[in-house]
Structure 1
């Protein structure tokens, strides 16, 4: 029997599984996520409390169960979701927040709900704790040349990869925990219900 048979049940009842190796990380940590439906906000909140990241980077579609590009009239529901997300991302040590707006985001609303955060429209570059980060909502929008950490979302078919000491990380597939002191990246899979929250099974598009 698969020794990890319990992980789907963990995802249903507790959220995002954090291996002991990740729980024990010290130093400057960056958490990266993308395309988050509101169904995962509780799990994200617990993750923030466990790991106390220095920075949280979200590469777009903050409330991915509200498809603003397809249904602009759902802005009030989107605003309500962002209020819940704000509470989920607030940690005891007040992590810095960086957002890249996605195709289902409203930039003005993101800036309103996160006034102390850095907000990029579609793409941007930033230095966090001495390391360069290249950010975009989708991989094709990443600027050239690549930096050490290249973060995006949106594309379910694009797997994480690394080449020549550079990381290309898709936050749609899992939450990345980046240890800047060790130069390591850990990917924590989302619970199975997250894809349902994204409406992927209803063929409404990412």
Structure 2
């Protein structure tokens, strides 16, 4: 009986996820290169992330850290190391199976670089402060906003609710929502995370990330 209710709950969540991760027609019909930016993903939203990836037809997926954000690895790394290794391996493997897109991970404070390097197959690891170029547009990568490189045209990060601003460059925080960037036009579309994302990330009472 327990397995029945578990499956029913899973099916219900799947319907909610399916309904809420629709892309605008402009994105679906665009011939431009699509970049999908996500960050700080607890396990409870993995089904939603998978649906977004499937529907996006993204050419590049960039995750700016904390792949298993319900596991606060920075505080007790030895206690959770084995669990993190298994969960992150599953997440990375599932994304690589779902899409042919280029996949890039930027390790966060709750990631272990050596484990990520062991878990990836065709995905890439970029350290904080790295710059990649897509369609002639420079993209700065970091988990913490203060570790972003200088002068990149687009800057992607996560970790907390920082909102850097520049009149000349674009800053996108993957905590607030999923960002879809069309290049080379630099048009930006956002998709909300499900409400349970914040609970999964274990926000503290002051609404800052931990």
Q: Any unmatched runs of 5+ in structure 1? A: 1-8
2:185 pairs with 179, 182, 185, which one? 182
2:167 alignment partner in structure 1: 163
1:94 alignment partner in structure 2: 100
Residues 39 and 120 of structure 1: is their aligned pair in 2 closer, same or farther, counting only changes over 3 Å? same
| 1:64-103 correspondence runs (5 A) | 64-72=69-77, 73-90=79-96, 93-103=99-109
C-alpha root-mean-square deviation of aligned residues, in Å? 2.5
Residues 171 and 43 of structure 1: is their aligned pair in 2 closer, same or farther, counting only changes over 3 Å? same
The structure where helix makes up a greater share of residues is 2
CA contact (8 A) 2:92 2:120 kept: yes
The structure where strand makes up a greater share of residues is 1
1:148 pairs with 148, 153, 159, which one? 153
1:198 pairs with 186, 196, 201, which one? 201
CA contact (8 A) 2:136 2:184 kept: no
Q: Any unmatched runs of 5+ in structure 2? A: 1-11
C-alpha distance in 2 between matches for 1:28 and 1:57: 13
| 1:54-73 correspondence runs (5 A) | 54-72=59-77, 73=79
1:115 alignment partner in structure 2: 121
1:20 pairs with 17, 22, 25, which one? 25
C-alpha distance in 2 between matches for 1:52 and 1:87: 18
TM score, norm. by length of structure 2: 0.82
Residues 93 and 198 of structure 1: is their aligned pair in 2 closer, same or farther, counting only changes over 3 Å? closer
SS of equivalent to 1:21: helix
CA positional deviation for 1:199? 1.1
CA contact (8 A) 1:161 1:169 kept: no
CA positional deviation for 1:92? 5.3
Residues 186 and 91 of structure 1: is their aligned pair in 2 closer, same or farther, counting only changes over 3 Å? farther
CA contact (8 A) 1:30 1:53 kept: yes
C-alpha distance in 1 between matches for 2:67 and 2:81: 13
Q: Write the deviation string for residues 90-120 of structure 1: whole angstroms up to 9, x where unpaired.
A: 3655111111111100001111111322212
C-alpha distance in 2 between matches for 1:48 and 1:38: 15
TM score, norm. by length of structure 1: 0.84
